[in-house]
């Protein structure tokens, strides 16, 4: 196999014409990374050179933090503890309801407590390779270094990590690695970490350093003199739209996987805060990099509103297989061993069922498309615990995965201790997000991002259990350094007055946007448009993509958006509680987000990680990168005329040299 494509293919004329009509090529951009410091030492060097704000001056600054998941709660709590005035916003009734609770399997850390060859360098190598060399290498080093502090910190503030008999914290393996570095709390890791982070946040609320706004959704970003200076938000109970100003703004609002409608995300998770910031000038990085989780529950009905995530940790003991004979409808327990195809173990013997998520999802899709799918709709594969139960006993499996098995039974009515689980790829995690430099600051000075709202750690595919880690690293150990560094130069500068022209203009824009939605007076509700958009994206920008499908997808999204703005029906009024209005605003953003996703996927004429273009694959069907032409992060700017400008951040790999991604 060659390392990469020999060169870009010749685009068909219609595809090239569509691209030229939608985007232009901009300039290279830098991520604030000096070339004279080794990647492994850069975070230590960067912290040494950050500007500081003295304790007596911190109370003079106000920071807005939007989102109270692991990244947002950690950031708000840490800044509050340091003495800054923090305004924290969440559309939930309480911070602990943020979607971080949904992560189940664990959180990675390179603490090296087991004698299995793990180290910081091994962690970085796995992360960069797992992201198919489309992440920022120095970010991966920071993730590895701070992972050690994250586990100790979360353990100290109350996360009940599983322990070995002797008292050491227990670990298990996750996809894309051959060591045991994942710390966990049964199948409730995200929930327990979120509870601990929320308690830390509420401690600062009680102390008066954090002012918490619940049931409040960000509608716009206030920009004054080119700097982020606050937000416009809507109270979801009263409908009141208000402005809130600050010296800096942090968006920790999660990912945009719900653009696919049927996703593993909570139904309220959305892209609105990030995309409204994008409209104000923040670049959006790699929007096409969407991960499809291989152990989601399959769609069982046309009218299903979402998919359900089953933890990747199940792949430690569950074996994935399909019948060798297409269309086999026998009870799985009656299918003999020789008539089963454990296809991941066959194709990837070194990693087996713990191949990375993008690889496992494509392999499952291949089996389903070939007619070997199982279940009533033939859209799933089996995840079987028969051998593990026979080897370890049911009690051990219950201790490791009991709540996950209960959840599966609640969702399907089937007992996974007796019959194999049925799983299928489902839209899950967004590796793309608002572009940010090494300090987590976007292209708008003063606007920072944390967690899944950013882009730098995961490249084109996230390794399992790195999501909770990246959110914690950003919230507790990156933003509390980077935000004060930015604020230090603003000492003595007041935050904008509420009657400033930029504030009033943003307020008017937000109110006008809400009124525009309710004034359409059409016949179709927002959920109908969202469902249609999701079906369109699964077909045109899903697990696999190609130029013709993507071009058709862009045109279909544009047509659906035009229909949305002419035939949307929003019942109720703009003032007061109105969930129909909430959903309408989010779907409007999803339609624009979908166009940008498809544009990015069409523009990036290579395969890498979860972005799999069928035109670019090795003879064995694996993704084929083009490092000569596409070794950069795409950062999209929205032009005043509606066209996009693609900027590029070149990516360098020194400590982990470029190589063919191989899990065999």
What does the pLDDT read at residue 303? 85
Helix (H, G, I), strand (E, B) or coil at 53: coil
Provide mean pLDDT across the span 97-115.
Answer: 91
Pairing label, strands 241-245, 227-235: antiparallel
What values do phi and psi take at 408, rounded to 5? -60, -45
> Which residues fall within 8 angstroms of residue 15, CB to CB, at 6 or more apart?
547, 548, 551, 602
Is the model's pLDDT at 190 over the cut of 70?
A: yes
Which residue among the candidates 357, 422, 561, 586 is catalytic per the annotation? 357
**pLDDT tens digits along 521-556:** 999 999 999 999 999 999 999 999 999 999 999 999
Can you read off the two tokens belonging to residue 240?
Answer: 């009141």
Helix (H, G, I), strand (E, B) or coil at 49: helix
Is the model's pLDDT at 34 over the cut of 90?
A: no
d(CA 499, CA 44): 42
Q: 225 burial class (0-12, 13-18, 19+ CB within 10 angstroms)?
A: exposed
Instruction: Write down the residue that tokens 């939608």 correspond to.
Output: 22
What values do phi and psi take at 3, rounded to 5? -65, -40
Asked if 579 and 570 count as a contact pair (C-beta separation under 8 A), the reply is: no
What is the helix (H) or strand (E) element at residue 633, kind and residue range? strand 632-638
Residue 234 has a CB neighbour count (10 Å cut-off) of 25
Asked if 384 and 321 count as a contact pair (C-beta separation under 8 A), the reply is: yes
- The DSSP 8-state label assigned to residue 631 in this structure reads -
What does the pLDDT read at residue 4? 41
**pLDDT tens digits along 611-655:** 999 999 999 889 999 999 999 999 999 988 889 999 999 999 999
d(CA 110, CA 355): 19
Counting DSSP H helices and E strands in the chain, the numbers are 19, 21
> Which residues fall within 8 angstroms of residue 171, CB to CB, at 6 or more apart?
106, 113, 114, 180, 181, 182, 183, 184
What does the pLDDT read at residue 32? 81
Instruction: Write down the residue that tokens 């909430």 correspond to.
Output: 582
Asked if 416 and 405 count as a contact pair (C-beta separation under 8 A), the reply is: yes
d(CA 608, CA 537): 19
Residue 645 has a CB neighbour count (10 Å cut-off) of 15
What does the pLDDT read at residue 70? 98
**pLDDT tens digits along 587-610:** 999 999 999 999 999 999 999 999
Is the model's pLDDT at 142 over the cut of 70?
A: yes
Is the model's pLDDT at 1 over the cut of 50?
A: no
What does the pLDDT read at residue 6? 45
What does the pLDDT read at residue 366? 96
What does the pLDDT read at residue 2? 36
Is the model's pLDDT at 275 over the cut of 80?
A: yes
Average pLDDT of every residue of the chain: 95
Residue 512 has a CB neighbour count (10 Å cut-off) of 10
Phi-psi region of 180 (alpha: psi -120 to 50; beta: other; left: phi over 0): beta
What is the helix (H) or strand (E) element at residue 184, kind and residue range? none
Can you read off the two tokens belonging to residue 652?
Answer: 């360098």
Provide mean pLDDT across the span 249-268.
Answer: 97
What is the helix (H) or strand (E) element at residue 296, kind and residue range? strand 290-296
**pLDDT tens digits along 290-349:** 999 999 999 998 888 899 999 999 999 999 999 999 999 999 999 999 999 999 999 999
**pLDDT tens digits along 447-505:** 999 999 999 999 999 999 999 999 999 999 999 999 999 999 999 999 999 999 999 99
d(CA 163, CA 516): 55
d(CA 555, CA 574): 31
Is the model's pLDDT at 114 over the cut of 90?
A: no
d(CA 210, CA 560): 42
Three-state SS string across 115-126, please? Answer: CCCCCHHHHHHH
Is the model's pLDDT at 5 over the cut of 50?
A: no
- Partner residues linked to 635 by β-bridges: 285, 647
d(CA 565, CA 522): 9
Q: Rg of the chain's alpha carbons, rounded to an integer?
A: 24
Indicate if 330 belongs to the active site.
no
Is the model's pLDDT at 65 over the cut of 60?
A: yes
Distance of alpha carbon 533 from the chain centroid: 19
- Partner residues linked to 183 by β-bridges: 107, 171
What is the helix (H) or strand (E) element at residue 217, kind and residue range? strand 216-224
Q: Which domains does the chain have, with CATH numbers?
A: 43-289+431-490 (3.50.50.60), 293-427 (3.90.700.10)
**Distance in Å from the first CA to the final CA of the chain:** 13
What stretches of 331-464 show up as alpha helix (H) in DSSP? 343-347, 357-367, 386-392, 394-412
What does the pLDDT read at residue 8? 64
Pairing label, strands 447-449, 248-251: parallel
Percentage of the chain lying above the pLDDT 90 cut: 93
Residues 433, 437, 438, 440, Cα dihedral to 10°: -60
Task: Band the pLDDT of 7: cuts 50, 70, 90.
Answer: low
Residue 575 has a CB neighbour count (10 Å cut-off) of 13
What does the pLDDT read at residue 33? 82
* Alpha-carbon torsion (93, 96, 99, 102), positive or negative: negative
Residue 517 has a CB neighbour count (10 Å cut-off) of 20
């Amino acid at each position: 196999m060659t390392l990469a494509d020999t060169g870009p293919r010749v685009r068909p004329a219609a595809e090239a014409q569509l691209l030229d009509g939608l985007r232009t090529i901009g300039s290279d951009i830098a991520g604030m990374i000096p070339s004279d410091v080794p990647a492994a030492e850069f975070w230590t060097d960067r912290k040494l050179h950050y500007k500081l704000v003295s304790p007596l001056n911190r109370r003079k600054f106000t920071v807005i933090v939007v989102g109270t998941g692991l990244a947002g709660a950690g950031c708000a709590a840490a800044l509050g503890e340091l003495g800054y005035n923090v305004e924290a916003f969440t559309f939930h009734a309480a911070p602990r309801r943020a979607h971080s609770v949904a992560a189940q399997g664990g959180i990675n850390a390179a603490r090296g407590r087991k004698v299995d060859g793990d180290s910081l360098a091994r962690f970085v190598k796995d992360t960069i390779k797992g992201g198919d060399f489309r992440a920022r290498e120095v970010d991966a080093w920071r993730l590895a270094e701070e992972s050690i502090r994250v586990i100790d910190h979360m353990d100290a503030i109350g996360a009940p990590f599983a322990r070995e008999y002797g008292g050491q914290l227990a670990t298990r393996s996750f996809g894309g690695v051959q060591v045991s570095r994942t710390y966990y709390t049964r199948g409730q890791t995200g929930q327990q970490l979120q509870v601990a982070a929320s308690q830390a946040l509420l401690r600062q609320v009680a102390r008066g350093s954090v002012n918490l706004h619940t049931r409040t959704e960000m509608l716009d970003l206030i920009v004054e003199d080119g700097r982020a200076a606050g937000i416009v938000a809507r109270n979801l109970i009263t409908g009141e739209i208000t402005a809130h100003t600050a010296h800096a703004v942090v968006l920790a609002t999660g990912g945009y996987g719900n653009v696919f409608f049927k996703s593993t995300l909570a139904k309220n998770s959305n892209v609105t805060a990030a995309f409204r910031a994008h409209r104000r000038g923040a670049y959006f990085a790699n929007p096409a990099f969407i991960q499809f989780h291989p152990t989601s529950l399959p769609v069982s009905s046309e009218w299903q509103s979402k998919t359900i995530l089953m933890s990747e940790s199940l792949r430690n003991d569950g074996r994935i297989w399909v019948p060798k004979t297409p269309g086999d409808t026998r009870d799985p327990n009656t299918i003999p061993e020789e008539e089963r195809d454990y296809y991941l173990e066959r194709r990837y013997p070194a990693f087996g069922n713990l191949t990375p998520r993008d690889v496992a999802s494509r392999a499952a899709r291949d089996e389903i498309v070939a007619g070997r799918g199982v279940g009533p709709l033939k859209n799933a594969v089996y995840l079987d615990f028969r051998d593990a139960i026979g080897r370890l006993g049911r009690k051990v499996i219950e201790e490791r995965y009991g709540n996950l098995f209960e959840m599966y039974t609640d969702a399907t009515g089937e007992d996974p201790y007796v019959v194999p689980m049925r799983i299928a790829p489902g839209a899950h995690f967004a590796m793309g997000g608002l572009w940010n430099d090494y300090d987590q600051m976007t292209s708008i000075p003063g606007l920072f991002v944390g967690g899944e709202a950013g882009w730098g750690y995961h490249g084109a595919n996230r390794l399992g259990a790195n999501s909770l880690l990246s959110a914690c690293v950003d919230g507790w150990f990156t933003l509390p350094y980077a935000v004060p560094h930015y604020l230090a130069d603003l000492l003595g500068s007041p935050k904008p007055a509420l009657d400033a022209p930029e504030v009033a203009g943003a307020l008017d824009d937000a109110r006008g946007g809400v009124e525009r939605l309710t004034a359409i007076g059409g016949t179709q509700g927002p959920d109908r448009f969202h469902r249609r958009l999701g079906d369109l994206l699964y077909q045109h920008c899903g697990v696999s993509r190609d130029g013709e499908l993507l071009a058709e997808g862009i045109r279909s999204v544009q047509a659906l958006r035009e229909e949305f703005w002419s035939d949307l029906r929003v019942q109720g009024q703009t003032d007061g509680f109105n969930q129909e209005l909430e959903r309408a605003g989010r779907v409007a953003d999803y339609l624009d987000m979908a166009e940008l996703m498809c544009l990015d996927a069409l523009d990036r004429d290579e395969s890498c990680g979860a972005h799999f273009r069928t035109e670019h694959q090795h003879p064995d069907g694996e993704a084929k990168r083009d490092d000569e032409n596409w070794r950069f992060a795409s950062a999209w700017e929205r032009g005043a005329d509606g066209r996009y400008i693609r900027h590029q951040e070149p990516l360098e790999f020194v400590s982990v040299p470029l190589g063919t991604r191989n899990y065999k």
